């Protein structure tokens, strides 16, 4: 099995080690609009620093 090469073996210096960021703030804005099709909605969520994704529950 071939594993991907490790970053630290690339010869380049790593900027810093990763560390947990803790609990993030809630998005400051949330806009919900009707979608283009029946039963569909469009969500616009304000950005949160350090967030890479949002989990939107199916309600």
| Structural domain boundaries in the chain | 22-59
**pLDDT (0 to 100) of residue 3:** 44
Give, as one character, the DSSP assignment of residue 36. S
Query: pTM for the complete prediction?
Result: 0.49
Whether residue 18 contacts residue 10, with contact meaning beta carbons closer than 8 Å, is answered with: no
CA distance 30 to 11: 44
pLDDT at 15 over 80: no
Q: What are phi and psi of 32, to 5 degrees?
A: -120, 125
pLDDT at 49 over 50: yes
**pLDDT (0 to 100) of residue 32:** 93
Whether residue 39 contacts residue 21, with contact meaning beta carbons closer than 8 Å, is answered with: no
pLDDT at 48 over 80: yes
Instruction: State the average pLDDT over residues 31-52.
Output: 92
Longest Cα separation, the chain: 54
**pLDDT (0 to 100) of residue 52:** 85
């Amino acid at each position: 099995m071939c594993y991907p090469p490790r970053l630290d073996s690339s010869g380049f210096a790593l900027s810093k080690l990763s560390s947990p960021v803790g609990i993030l703030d809630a998005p400051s804005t949330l806009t919900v609009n009707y979608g283009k099709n029946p039963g569909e909605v469009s969500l616009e969520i304000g950005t949160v620093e350090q967030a890479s994704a949002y989990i939107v529950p199916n309600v």
